[in-house]
Amino acid sequence: MPVSALTENLKNNNGNVDQKDGVTSPSQDIPISGGQSLTREVSRSMHARESFSFGTSPDQQRHRPTFSRPSHESGSPHLTRTMTGAAPKKLQPFREQDVKILLLENVNKTGQDVLREQGYQVEALKSSLPEDQLIERIKDVHVLGIRSKTKLNSRVLAAAKNLIVIGCFCIGTNQVDLKYAADHGICVFNSPFSNSRSVAELVIAEIITLARQLGDRSNEMHAGTWNKVSSKCWEVRGKTLGIVGYGHIGSQLSVMTEAMGMKVIYYDVVNLMSLGTAHQVSSLDELLKGADFITLHVPEIPETKNMISTAQFEVMKTGSYLINASRGSVVDIPALIEASRNGKIAGAALDVYPSEPAGNGDYFNNELNSWCEDLRRLKNIILTPHIGGSTEEAQSAIGIEVAESLVRYVNEGVTVGAVNMPEVTLRSLTMDQEDHARVIFIHQNVPGVLGRVNKVLSDHNVDKQMSDSRGDMAYMMADISNVRQAEIETLYKDLEGLKERIITRILY
């Protein structure tokens, strides 16, 4: 099992470079001789060239603390710090009215606002789309925003000839073919932290609800039945909570439940510092044997598929409780149904399922999953429709975080926070740096490419350059000086002529 199997941090931080003086800068049109503008071509090694234009307006007004100049150190183009020296150069390589963005699954308005403030063309839909409709809609889209229900497989992505970046407005990215996207120069961002508090609070509510059988008592009252009982209803104080996956959600939950008087043990495949008096155990079985309440916070990977099944239920304490707010594939639902029927577990709370409806409606039945009706008939079972992160606060924060990552990528090529590409950033060009350009070259990771790229750039001074690789692809960004406007087109075509190139971008 890989060391990351049970952690919630889905981002790979390898190659992360802290640019202390880094600042954001949007982009400028590339004029060429004859008074024309050079529009951006996205070139992919397996597709014909597609020409289109990009742009941005750097002026953004939001209700956040600002000082003088934006900094990548803050991780947000809105949260800034005081800096001295020349102002950042406002680059505009592409016409802002030509950036086409499609947002699916009712992305929060905060995210839509961030993107619209840039002058992009933003179309927002409230639901996901069937695959064939999605293929038709994304043919000319440059930026795609989704949540958890939209599936972006290789067939769908192959139809998106102009797509350069995907924003997953959620924690997970398993709905995207990340390797195909990387191999074709499509960067993917997510929001791994913004809804962790909301999920933790839901789990706390479910712990108390299960311990007191509140769901069943509420259903009985709605049906007109008064059933005042105390048998097998418990306080949570003094009980043991077992957390599987001690990441951002698990560790928050640890602190919050200790404050309620619970003892906390946790299992993770990496050794992690305990918070409070929590104690890490050496195996999953050890946790299952010792916990009164078990809560799962792991990613969906092969190692976690059905990690709680018949054998694990047999190890658990009789009368214990199971909570799953991570991924639907983690729990074997038929095994859970049997454990509930035979009294091995006293209750369970599920927020995620192996198959989930694409939209709201009367769809949670046996046509969706063959065991749905059996599950619905069980006592002391809380069933919620994947709402762990569905709070106003979480969705607002996710909208801003992912949208700002998209803006930084489109405007500057910054990949900090990307889940399928190396994290590359450079400090901004400034107003006193005339005749400068930013070159972004995504290419196959084979020997000799950087030498050929630098040969193309050799007529200019390379002020800053950073390159990093991940698997079969690599990402190079360089700021060059002494670039006359008439030379931009030649520079671009020479880079496009390199056989290893996936995408070339020049911001001027």
Separation between Cα atoms, residue 99 and residue 95, nearest integer Å: 8
H-type helices in 27-119, by residue range? 109-116
Question: Contact, 320 vs 347, CB < 8 A?
Answer: no
Backbone angles phi, psi at 481, to 5 degrees: -120, 175
Annotate 256-325 with DSSP letters as a single string. HHHTTT-EEEEE-SS--PPPTT-EE-S-HHHHHHH-SEEEE----SGGGTT-BSHHHHHHSPTTEEEEE-
Question: Contact, 292 vs 241, CB < 8 A?
Answer: yes
Only one residue has tokens 């510092």, namely 273
For the question of residue 237 being annotated catalytic, the response is: no
Q: Give the active site residue among 40, 386, 443, 501.
A: 386
- Return the structure tokens found at 266: 């946790």
For the question of residue 63 being annotated catalytic, the response is: no
CB contact set of 374 (below 8 Å; sequence gap of 6+): 337
For the question of residue 356 being annotated catalytic, the response is: yes
CA distances from 444 to 103, 186, 195, 473 (A): 29, 13, 35, 5
Residue 146, SS3 per DSSP: strand
Separation between Cα atoms, residue 167 and residue 159, nearest integer Å: 17
Separation between Cα atoms, residue 78 and residue 67, nearest integer Å: 10
Separation between Cα atoms, residue 402 and residue 412, nearest integer Å: 15
Separation between Cα atoms, residue 139 and residue 334, nearest integer Å: 41
Question: Contact, 243 vs 280, CB < 8 A?
Answer: no
Separation between Cα atoms, residue 435 and residue 125, nearest integer Å: 41
Q: Of 437, 446, 443, 459, which is closest to residue 498 (Cα–Cα)?
A: 443
Only one residue has tokens 């769901």, namely 215
Question: Contact, 248 vs 9, CB < 8 A?
Answer: yes
CB contact set of 236 (below 8 Å; sequence gap of 6+): 207, 208, 211, 257, 260, 261, 262, 293
Q: Give the active site residue among 131, 356, 487, 489.
A: 356
Residue 90, SS3 per DSSP: coil
Q: Give the active site residue among 184, 248, 297, 327.
A: 327
Beta-bridge partner residues of 378: none
- Number of helices and strands (H, E) in the chain? 14, 22
CB contact set of 451 (below 8 Å; sequence gap of 6+): none
**Active-site residue set:** 327, 356, 386
